[in-house]
Amino acid sequence: MGSSVWVALALSALAGLATTIGSLLGLVVRRPGPRFMALSLGFSAGVMVLVSFVELLPRGIEAAGYLAGVGAFFGGMVLMLVLDFLIPHQYKAEKSEGLNRPGSPVLMRTGLLVALGIGIHNLPEGMAAFAGALQDVRLGVAIAVAIGIHNIPEGLAVSVPIYAATGSRKKAFVWSFLSGVTEPIGAGLAAFLLMPFLTPVVLGYVLAAVAGVMVFISFDELVPVANSYGHEHLAIVGAIAGMAVMALSLAMLA
């Protein structure tokens, strides 16, 4: 069990630090094309939805029972909904028309608010990656990959406005990095809170709730943002591709 805990923590850390990839894209490429963004976000949504309904929720129901598992699933969705109401976060920075005004305090504020929102939202994502890997390493890898892909544009959303406002690549990178660090922190909290009480039934509740969290992220965030780039068919193509690739990978790892 000890080694699996460290593997789970490592996977959640890698998923969270994918924000640094987005940060580097924001500093080097400035802004990936809309086709790339629509495809990648759709792909991530497809991976998350398939993993949730094919792996996480069934395992949760098997361990905790149908009503309890489904209840935990919707509980995860409600948790994310409440979090979104209390601390909304958006990808405004990617499309901000003020990026051409260096030194703007509005841009700096936008970047910092996005970093704060993303950082807080990454806490339950870190818990999701940890719980999945604790149940099954291949499942943890699948979740970490999906979360990592969707963290790339989040890093972009933080770094672009801060770089435009300050002209400092270092500051932009640091803030983006910090927004992703909360993911392994979330995994650490999950380890601290879960390990003393972890039983198959408790893990079943957690897996079902994680499924709800990931489905909410897909439907509320990834798909709408992917469609907003103006290439709706690319978004759904990305989602189908994500589902197909994840289904194939799960079959190969079975």
Domain boundaries along the sequence of the chain? 2-253
Per-residue pLDDT of the chain (254 residues; tens, 9 = 90+): 455 778 888 888 888 888 888 777 767 765 557 787 788 778 878 888 988 899 889 989 999 999 999 999 999 999 888 888 887 655 544 444 444 454 556 657 666 766 766 777 677 778 777 888 877 887 788 788 878 877 777 777 777 667 777 778 888 888 888 888 888 888 888 778 777 777 888 888 988 998 998 899 889 878 887 888 777 688 899 899 989 987 887 777 56
Predicted structure pTM score: 0.71
Distances (CA, A) of 3 to 22, 83, 126, 154: 30, 32, 18, 30
Q: 194 phi and psi, to 5 degrees?
A: -85, -40
- State the DSSP string of 183-209: HHHHHHHHHHHHGGG--HHHHHHHHHH
Distances (CA, A) of 233 to 92, 210, 223: 22, 28, 11
pLDDT (0 to 100) of residue 43: 84
C-alpha 81/C-alpha 162 separation (Å) is 28
∠ CA 175-179-92, rounded to 5° = 85
pLDDT (0 to 100) of residue 100: 42
C-alpha 224/C-alpha 79 separation (Å) is 19
C-alpha 161/C-alpha 96 separation (Å) is 8
